[in-house]
Amino acid sequence: MSRNRDYGKSMHQLIGEMYPICRSITGNGVRETLEIIRSRIPLEVVEIPTGEKVFDWQVPKEWNINEAWIKDSAGRKIVDFADLNLHVMSYSIPVNKKVTLSELKKHLFSLPEQPGLVPHKTSYFSEHWGFCMTHNQLKALEEDTYHVYIDSSLKEGSLTYGELFIEGETREEVLISTHTCHPSLCNDNLSGISIAVHLAEQLLKQYQLRYSYRFLFIPATIGAITWLAKNEKVVDKIKYGLILSCLGDPGRSMTFKKSRSGEADIDRIVEKALSDTKGPYEIREFEPVGYDERQFCSPGFNLPVGLLMRTPYGEFPEYHTSADNPDFVRPESLADSLSKLEEILYIIEHNDSYLNQNPRCEPFLGKRGLYSLSGGKNKTNIDQEAVLWTLNYSDGEHSLLDISRKSGLSFRNIARAAEALMQIDLLKPAE
């Protein structure tokens, strides 16, 4: 518990560190963010040059920004990028001119229904410029001549992403992917980044992992497309995959959006992990709108990749606004999300199929040193019911996950029983 509380604080702190940086789908903000991550885990930072063809797309020009503001005729800055990077539409081209209020308004974005919040806007694939402000501020603007100034650049450069591969006993992989393209927004998606970093730190400390783990820190859509285009040979190794996003909000319920097949092992594992751990959760079917599961689950790949969240994107009012700030994400939510992920990984690492070596009738557990079991619970903490379920269904057709789902007992309970039965040779690995 206190371990989790510490992790929660640590994850929240990392979010605070990354929060001020102006990220986009390319540019120095991404590089700066990946540097922070690389100070904690041995990330490989990859640069893919502008113009490179990635499936049906091309890597876009790189965008960077130094300064941006609007001044009124009295020279007062009415919005300033230096205050909040959301004030500038991401990928805004350079501009430096004086405009009337009505001309200015064509380039202003606000949220009439959330008049106190600044929206997040982007224009990645068509060249525009724009500013975002609160609707209250916009309504108060008077007729005037405004000086708009954006010192940005949109040039040949590269798309930057980070990748960490942790090799396990087999080359079969667990993919953990999280998007890095959002500017000062915390739940979407500094929460996903921070949790991924902490999870990677934990895995790096373990000297034995059954599966290999691949962490991706990539810009959404174009980043996933780029990575897939560059790593087609890796794709077949992906046995389980999770996109991490929106994992720090105060919502109590976890949400899992299943993979495209809806019946992949990852889908059943996440559902069991969420059911075994405390707290509400919701399982949703795949749909081809959302985050990078759109690319990993495109029909040509159809990978077993789902999306893990707390409150889903677009369903919390702070989504894509200035209210998605460090106060909105909570250490205890981050810690709870991480503990759910750990449970998922526990099942991934321990799920297997065994064969009951004494399949005809029950074995005589008493003479095999499991006698104290027969009355129910015992001091080894191995549940007698779990032993009987594990024996009965270890028939080569049911994995431990299947058995735990069928019995309604927790996966850990079944896995412990299987471990004890292995030790007395009543179970053997299935093939």
Q: Which residues are annotated as a binding site for Zn(2+)?
A: 182, 188, 320
- Which region, judged by CB under 8 A, interacts with its own copies, from 187-195, 210-218, 299-307, 327-335? 299-307
> Taking the CB of residue 135, how many other CB atoms lie within 10 A of it?
19
- Give 13 or 374: the residue with its C-beta nearer to its own copies: 374
Q: Binding its own copies by CB under 8 A: which of 95, 229, 283, 430?
A: 229
Cβ-count burial 345-359 (b if 16+ within 10 Å, e if not): bbbbbbbbbbebeee
CA-to-CA separations, 77 to 81, 120, 130, 279, 403, in angstroms, rounded: 10, 20, 16, 47, 65
Coil, helix or strand for 230?
Answer: helix
CA separation for the pair 348, 119 (Å, rounded): 39
Establish if 297 lies at the interface with its own copies (CB under 8 A).
Answer: yes
Establish if 427 lies at the interface with its own copies (CB under 8 A).
Answer: no
Subset of residues 60 to 119 that bind its own copies, contact rule: CB under 8 A:
none
Subset of residues 307 to 336 that bind its own copies, contact rule: CB under 8 A:
none
Instruction: End-to-end CA distance of the chain: give it in Å, rounded.
Output: 39
Q: Binding its own copies by CB under 8 A: which of 158, 407, 410, 413?
A: 407
Establish if 225 lies at the interface with its own copies (CB under 8 A).
Answer: yes
- Phi/psi of residue 214, each to 5°? -120, 120
Establish if 126 lies at the interface with its own copies (CB under 8 A).
Answer: yes
Q: Binding its own copies by CB under 8 A: which of 106, 360, 379, 429?
A: 360
> What type of residue sits at position 48?
I
Establish if 255 lies at the interface with its own copies (CB under 8 A).
Answer: no
Establish if 122 lies at the interface with its own copies (CB under 8 A).
Answer: no
Q: Binding its own copies by CB under 8 A: which of 136, 202, 314, 371?
A: 371
Tokens of 70: 């609007």
Establish if 57 lies at the interface with its own copies (CB under 8 A).
Answer: yes
- Give 44 or 425: the residue with its C-beta nearer to its own copies: 425
Establish if 300 lies at the interface with its own copies (CB under 8 A).
Answer: yes
> What type of residue sits at position 203?
L
- Which region, judged by CB under 8 A, interacts with its own copies, from 14-22, 103-111, 207-215, 384-392? 384-392
Q: What is the DSSP string of 73-142?
A: TT--EEEETTT-GGGB-BTPPPEEEEEEHHHHHTTEE--TTSTTSPBP-B-TTS----EE--HHHHHH--
DSSP state of 291: S
Q: Binding its own copies by CB under 8 A: which of 63, 240, 393, 411?
A: 393
- Give 147 or 260: the residue with its C-beta nearer to its own copies: 260
Establish if 56 lies at the interface with its own copies (CB under 8 A).
Answer: yes
Establish if 388 lies at the interface with its own copies (CB under 8 A).
Answer: yes
Q: Smallest gap, in angstroms, from Cβ of residue 41 to its own copies?
A: 27
Q: Binding its own copies by CB under 8 A: which of 67, 169, 362, 425?
A: 362
Report the chain's C-alpha Rg in angstroms: 25
Q: Binding its own copies by CB under 8 A: which of 109, 129, 301, 346?
A: 301
Establish if 253 lies at the interface with its own copies (CB under 8 A).
Answer: no
> Taking the CB of residue 410, how many other CB atoms lie within 10 A of it?
18
Q: Are 90 and 111 in contact (CB under 8 A)?
A: no
Pairing of strands 212-218, 173-179: parallel
Pairing of strands 212-218, 254-257: unpaired
- Give 220 or 244: the residue with its C-beta nearer to its own copies: 220
Query: Number of residues in contact with its own copies, rule: CB under 8 A?
Result: 42
> What type of residue sits at position 353?
S
- Give 224 or 347: the residue with its C-beta nearer to its own copies: 224
CA separation for the pair 211, 175 (Å, rounded): 10
Tokens of 320: 């894509």
Catalog residues that contact its own copies under the rule CB under 8 A.
Answer: 55-58, 125-126, 221, 224-225, 228-229, 260, 287-289, 294-295, 297-302, 356, 358-364, 366, 371, 385, 388-389, 391-395, 407
